[in-house]
Amino acid sequence: MSAASHLGTYAEGWTKGDADTILSAASKGFTFDDPNAGKIPASGFAEYLAGMKEEVKGMRGGSLPEPFMELSEVVTSEADGVLTAWCWWSVAGTGIQGSGLIKVSSDGVRSEVITYYAKPAG
């Protein structure tokens, strides 16, 4: 499967909030780096996403948005067999939003590092 196909499946998983779909696009050594949760290996990702969904439910009065996550401003660049993607993401009905940096190769999504958008304290 091509890196672009893996990236498409990965994005679909996030819009649905489906860990199985996300992980089906992941490479063997996949890591997800969230500044609030640390670096999460594939083996701990489903638990991470379940926790995130519980937080979202709490913020939304017990419901999850449809779609779960909206992705926009996607920019990609390919070099030396690695597809790098940047995107803006948000969870509807919450203040949760930020940016992601994703690395993908023909064996799947290798990693994602996310940041959160927040107003400076002041």
Q: For residue range 28-52, what is the model confidence (pLDDT) as tens digits?
A: 999 999 999 999 999 999 999 999 9
Per-residue confidence (pLDDT) for residue 117, from 0 to 100: 95
- What is the distance between the alpha carbons of residues 91 and 96, in angstroms, rounded to a whole number? 6
Instruction: Identify the residue whose tokens are 């002041």.
Output: 122
Strand arrangement, sheet containing 108-116: 38-41, 26-34, 108-116, 97-105, 82-90, 70-79
- What is the distance between the alpha carbons of residues 50 and 56, in angstroms, rounded to a whole number? 10
Residue 81, SS3? Answer: coil
- Pairing relationship of beta strands 82-90 and 38-41 according to DSSP bridges: unpaired
Region 59-73: mean pLDDT is 96
Per-residue confidence (pLDDT) for residue 122, from 0 to 100: 66
Tell whether pTM > 0.75. Answer: yes
Helix residue ranges, H only, 1-122: 3-16, 19-24, 42-59
- What is the distance between the alpha carbons of residues 57 and 27, in angstroms, rounded to a whole number? 29
